[in-house]
Amino acid sequence: MQQRRSGTAASVSGMTIAFTGFTMLRRTLHRLLAASLLLLAALQAQALTSEQARAIASGDSEDRIAALNKAVETADDKTAAFIQALSDDAVKTSGDEVFVMKDDKAYDPVSGAELKLPDDADDVINNNLMRSALDAAQAALKLSSKDDKVRAEAAAALFKDPDESRVPIVEKALAAETNPKIKAQLELVRDAGMLTSADKAKRLASAIGLGANTSPDTKLLLNQRLADETDPEVKTAILASVAKIDATLVWGERINAVFSGISLGSVLLLSALGLAITYGLMGVINMAHGELMMIGAYATYVMQGVFQRFLPESLFGFYLVAAIPVSFLASALVGAILERGVIRFLYGRPLETLLATWGISLMLQQLVRSFFGAQNVGVENPAWMSGGLTMLSNVTLPWNRICIIVFAGLVLLAMGWLIGRTRLGLFVRGVTQNRPIASCMGVNTARIDTYAFALGSGIAGLAGCALSQIGNVGPDLGQNYIVDSFMVVVMGGVGQLAGTVYAAMGLGILNKFIEGWAGAVLAKIAVLVFIIIFIQKRPQGIFAVKGRSAEA
């Protein structure tokens, strides 16, 4: 609305100028002068013409971009509105006519009048090339904005798609710019635009100037130019700038590698923590551990459904928070039933436990398949977990990974507190260290077993809740993590919480380090080989249980 009103204002002022010119013509009869004035007025306030709109909206991308860049040079508010509509995919064409769509109604881009949309109208399709050009055009128009933030964004966007034809616009904006930060950015844009100039001096200045900016985009620009550059002097300048940028970027790459290692480590840690209790402390070889994680993930999915169906959309982002206790309780409940119903009869018989829990894992998978179907279900990231945190020009840390690292840390702390500082934890440790003596002291060991197993299962559920945010949720989710979980617990040393943490982080970083260098397939194999060798040399894991702990 705003734009249309100001558009009308522009055409009114154009008419006023024309009218003044007309009276002048009548009064002084200096026809020639008046005619040129008219032309000038028309040029200055040249509104978007329908020919321009048609040329921008239809034809080959290359011609469209040329028309667009031309229109930007003499742009007014209508041009801006039209470009906006184009990048919103709200423009249709039919034959020679161009329509701007708004709320299912068609408008003329030039006059703003409402039109009847013919049935054969086609959407204007913008490919990547066209979209980049549209973004750059919009950015060029925004350079004169009063808002610092808009100008900064515009300068950043222009840098992505430099073009020599825009250098004059940028120069103009530079002259008017007062904010030093935006000024620096604009200088870069100008340099980038001149990189393809036919003038060697300009290219040289540009190549040296760009070395000051250490972003991957700059490196790409320089490298692209390097491929076509013929002048040796400019070539050396480009190479020097690239080397300078590389020296800075290498730090970002290191941070990336370490972060992805920690992130994988935190996933391993989450999936192994529950097992550290059920297998590590209690000695139950629980092959259904992965399925307890799967139940946690499905509980998250159910909560997502509940929020979608029963609660207002504004609250949807919180479904994950609500899913945390739900997934814990769901898995803990299944775990408790499992322990009461099956596992308590099998203590001290590891082989039977292994087989029984494996059978249970298959049953749980089939149960989920019958309820939710064999296909994966979609669990969405809430909006606050999408996107990433840009730390350096080449380091973007995804929010969902950051959240999971933090979450893993919190779960670890809570578990450490529960086992190390509470009465329940004391009983659990007592029972696992020496069952008969604990029993003599009046501890109800059977009940403690159930609690401990339910706790371990609940933590598996939390892991499932977290994993639903980064991977697929399907009936066989657990199968992908069960081997990893056992790997971590065995390597850390059975019965050692600290060992689990070290093993998870160590394996995560090791895996990512090898992957960066030998690929994902080899990394997986290499880690397994490493563990086999490690366990052969040191069967008790990183940390051995010291002292006289009696076998339960």
Partner 1 sequence: MQRRFTLKALTAAVAFASLGAVPAFAADTIKIGVLHSLSGTMAISETSLKDTILMAVDDINAHGGVLGKKLEPVVVDPASNWPLFAEKTKQLLGQDKVAVIFGCWTSVSRKSVLPVLEEMNGLLFYPVQYEGEELSKNVFYTGAAPNQQAIPAVDYLMSKEGGGAKRWVLLGTDYVYPRTTNKILRAYLHTKGVKDTDIDEKYTPFGHSDYQTIVADIKKFSEGGKTAVVSTINGDSNVPFYKELGNAGLKAKDVPVVAFSVGEEELRGVDTKPLVGNLAAWNYFMSLKNPTNAAFIKQWSEYAKAKKIPLQMDKPLTNDPMEASWIGIHMWKQAVEKAGSTDTDKVIAAMAGQTFNAPSGIVSKMDENNHHLHKSVFIGEIKADGQFNVVWKTPGPVKAKPWSPYIEGNDKKPDHPAGKSM
User: What is the nearest approach in angstroms of partner 1 to the Cβ of residue 131?
Assistant: 6
Q: Which of residues 86-115 bind partner 1 (CB under 8 A)?
A: 89
> Measured between alpha carbons, how far is 469 from 473 in angstroms, rounded to an integer?
9
Query: Is 230 among the residues that bind partner 1 (CB under 8 A)?
Result: no
The continuous run of DSSP H or E covering 121 comes out as none
Q: Pattern 199-228, binding to partner 1, x per CB under 8 A?
A: -----------------x--xx--xx--x-
What is the DSSP secondary-structure string of 97-113? EEEEEETTEEE-TTT--
User: What is the nearest approach in angstroms of partner 1 to the Cβ of residue 506?
Assistant: 16
Query: Is 529 among the residues that bind partner 1 (CB under 8 A)?
Result: no
CB 310 within 8 A of CB 283: no
User: What is the nearest approach in angstroms of partner 1 to the Cβ of residue 181?
Assistant: 21
**Residue 297: closest CA among 258, 330, 275:** 330
| Helix (H/G/I), strand (E/B), else coil: 473 | strand
> Measured between alpha carbons, how far is 270 from 272 in angstroms, rounded to an integer?
5
Work out which of 150, 174, 476, 534 binds partner 1, going by CB under 8 A.
476
> Measured between alpha carbons, how far is 135 from 76 in angstroms, rounded to an integer?
16
User: What is the nearest approach in angstroms of partner 1 to the Cβ of residue 493?
Assistant: 25
C-alpha angle 265-266-272 in degrees, rounded to nearest 5 = 90
| Residues 355/361/363/369 CA torsion (nearest 10 deg) | -160
Q: Which of residues 432-471 bind partner 1 (CB under 8 A)?
A: 470-471
CB 265 within 8 A of CB 507: yes
Nearer to partner 1, 182 or 267 (CB): 267
Half-sphere exposure of 10 (CA within 13 A, CB side): 20
> Measured between alpha carbons, how far is 37 from 45 in angstroms, rounded to an integer?
12
Q: Pattern 376-395, binding to partner 1, x per CB under 8 A?
A: xxx-xx----xxx-x---x-
Query: Is 350 among the residues that bind partner 1 (CB under 8 A)?
Result: no
- Residues in contact with partner 1, total (CB under 8 A)? 62
Q: Pattern 142-171, binding to partner 1, x per CB under 8 A?
A: ------------------x-----------
Residue with tokens 């260098």: 517
Work out which of 396, 434, 445, 540 binds partner 1, going by CB under 8 A.
396
Query: Is 373 among the residues that bind partner 1 (CB under 8 A)?
Result: yes
Work out which of 409, 416, 430, 516 binds partner 1, going by CB under 8 A.
516
The pair of structure tokens assigned to 434 is 């020496």
Nearer to partner 1, 254 or 349 (CB): 254
What is the DSSP secondary-structure string of 348-415? T-HHHHHHHHHHHHHHHHHHHHHHH-SS-B--PPPGGGSSEEEEETTEEEEHHHHHHHHHHHHHHHHH
Q: Which of residues 248-287 bind partner 1 (CB under 8 A)?
A: 249, 253, 256-257, 259-260, 263-264, 267
Query: Is 512 among the residues that bind partner 1 (CB under 8 A)?
Result: yes
User: What is the nearest approach in angstroms of partner 1 to the Cβ of residue 356?
Assistant: 23
The residues of the shown chain that bind partner 1, judged by CB under 8 A, are: 60-62, 89, 123, 125-129, 131-132, 135, 160, 216, 219-220, 223-224, 227, 249, 253, 256-257, 259-260, 263-264, 267, 369, 373-378, 380-381, 386-388, 390, 394, 396, 398-401, 470-472, 474-476, 480, 512, 515-516, 519-521, 524
